[in-house]
Amino acid sequence: MTQYVGYIRVSTGRQEKSGLGLDAQRAMIAAFIANTAGAALLCPVYTETQSGGDNSRPVLAEAIARCGKTGATLLAAKLDRLSRDVEMIAGLIKRVPFTVCEHPGATPLELHIRATIAEEERRKISERTKAAMAQIKDRSNLGGDRGFRHKPGDAKRFGQIGATASATVRTQDANRFASEIHATIAEMQASGCASNTALAKALNARGVASARRGAWTACTVQRLLCRVEGLT
Low-confidence stretches of the chain (pLDDT beneath 50)? 144-147, 161-165
Phi, psi of 85 (to 5 degrees): -95, 125
Evaluate whether residue 199 is within a structural domain. Answer: yes
Evaluate whether residue 219 is within a structural domain. Answer: yes
Paired with 4 in beta bridges are: 41, 73
Residue 129 pLDDT = 75
- For residues 47 and 131, give the distance between their C-alpha atoms in angstroms, rounded to a whole number: 32
- The dihedral through the CA atoms of 184, 15, 197, 191 has a sign that is negative
Residues 211, 216, 217, 223, Cα dihedral to 10°: 30
CA distances from 17 to 21, 23, 46, 81 (A): 10, 11, 16, 17
Domain end position, chosen among 82, 106, 130: 106
Evaluate whether residue 166 is within a structural domain. Answer: yes
Task: Say yes or no: 11 and 54 in one domain.
Answer: yes
Evaluate whether residue 89 is within a structural domain. Answer: yes
- For residues 92 and 154, give the distance between their C-alpha atoms in angstroms, rounded to a whole number: 40
Buried b (16+ CB within 10 A) or exposed e, 88-126: bbbebbeebebbbbeeeeeeeeebeebbeebbebbeebe
Q: Residue 56: which domain range?
A: 2-106
Residue 105 pLDDT = 87
Task: Say yes or no: 86 and 174 in one domain.
Answer: no
- 5 near 73, Cβ under 8 Å? yes
Q: How many alpha carbons lie under 13 Å from residue 12 in its C-beta half-sphere?
A: 11
